[in-house]
Structure 1
Amino acid sequence: MRRRIAALGCWLAALALPALGATEIVVATVNNEHMIEMQRLTPHFERANPDVRVRWVTLEEATLRQRVSTDMARGSSRYDVLTIGMYETQIWARRGWLRPIDPPPDYDLADLLPAIRAGLTLDGRLYAAPFYGESSMLYYRRDLAERAGIVFPERPSWRQVREAAERLHDPANGVYGICLRGKPGWGENLALVMTMANAFGGQWADLNWRPQLES
C-alpha cells in the first residue's frame, strides 16, 4: 500500500516502527555541509526525545535522488525521513506522495523567500518547509575586472559574462576567465546549464517531447 509522507523542511517524514522499546528514525540526506552540520545536532534531539534514536544515511546528491525516487515510485521507502529538493516537491505532491504542511501559528510563512515558498506550494498548500535555499549567482574579481576595463551591469547577460571571461583569460599568468561547476548531475551542473539555456530562449523539449536543444 502506498504511504503518503509529510514534508518537513524540504524533507519527507513518516512515523518509524518501534524497535526494542525505542523508535529508530532512519534519515537519508545529501552529504553537503548544511546537512553534516545538522547531524551534529542529533545528541540534542535525542536528549530531548529519549525514546527516539536517529540513524543517518548520507549520500551524494545524484545517488540520493535516484534511490529516493525509485523507492517512492514503488510505494515504499527504506527511509523514514529524507531530504528532497524544490524540483521534486510539486511533482510528488501531485502524485499524492506528500501530505500538505499545516504550520503552527508561530511559523511565519511570509518570512520565506517568495520564489522558494511558491516552489514548495501546490494549489495554495505548502508541501515542504525549506531547511535552506540555493540559487546561482555570479562572483568576480573586482581588481581583475577594473584592470581589464570591464564594468558589469547589475544584471549581466551570459553574452556579457562570456565577453568578460574572454578578456580576463590569461593562462600564461595563472588567470582563467571563468570557473563553472562541472560535476555531472542535476544539482551539480545541470541546474546551471538549464539556467543558461533558458536565458538564450532554449528548452529541453516541447509539449510533445521533441528535443529542442539543437546547438
Structure 2
Amino acid sequence: MAFTAGRDVLYRDFRGNGQLVLVAPQRVVNDDQRGVLTWRPIGTPWLFRRTADGRDRREIPFEQRHTVEWRLTPLTWSGVHVLHLFRPGRAHSVWWMFDPDFSLNRWYVNLEAPPARWDDGDVAGIDTFDHALDIVVPPDRRWRWKDEGEYLERAGHPDYWTVEQAAAIRAEGERVIEDIEAAAFPFDGTWCDFRPDESWPLPVLPREGWDRPRASGE
C-alpha cells in the first residue's frame, strides 16, 4: 500500500485502551523504502484530546487523568511547520520542525509504536501509539531527552507499557542517538531544504472516517 504524493492522510495517535487522542491531516510528500514523508504546515486544522473544561493533560496529575472526561477538541497547528517521516518497522518517527521562514528549528524524534497504515478509499492514514519519551535535536545535533518523567510514570500502567517494554522504548531512542551523533540519515541534512508545492492548500480534516478503529501492523 503506497500513498500518492499530494494526498492527504491522517496521523492518528491512540492509547493502549484504544482511545483516540490525536488526529492530524498531513499531505504526502513521498512514499518509498525510507518511509512515508508528510507535511503539516502552520494553520493545519487538527483534533487533540482535552478535558471537558478545556484543560491539557499536562495540567492534570497523572493519577487523575483516568478519572476525568476527555474529548477531541478542534485546534489549529501553530508555531512551526512539520515535515514528518514515518519509518517502516521502526518504533519512532522523525519531525523536521521549520520556523515560518523555513529555517530548521530542530529535528524531533517521537518514540512511538511502528506505523500502521490504512486506506478506506476516501480517507486514509497512519496510526501509532505515542511512547512519551522523545529526543530534541537542534541543528548542531546536541541532542537531549524530553519527557523522561512522563515516560517513567507510565511504566507498569495497564494503558501504557510494562517495565520491560519501557526498556525497549529507551533502547530504540539510544539507537536513534547513534544516528544523530554520526550525522546519519535522517539527520544528515536530507530534506532540510524542503519547500512545499506552492499550489498546495492546507491539509483537510475530513468530516467522516477519521474515527475508524485503530489499524494494526505496517
TM-score range, shorter chain: under 0.3
Identify the structure with the greater helix proportion.
1
Identify the structure with the greater strand proportion.
2
The TM-score, its normalising length taken from structure 2, stands at 0.22
The TM-score, its normalising length taken from structure 1, stands at 0.22
Structure (1 or 2) with the larger CA radius of gyration: 1
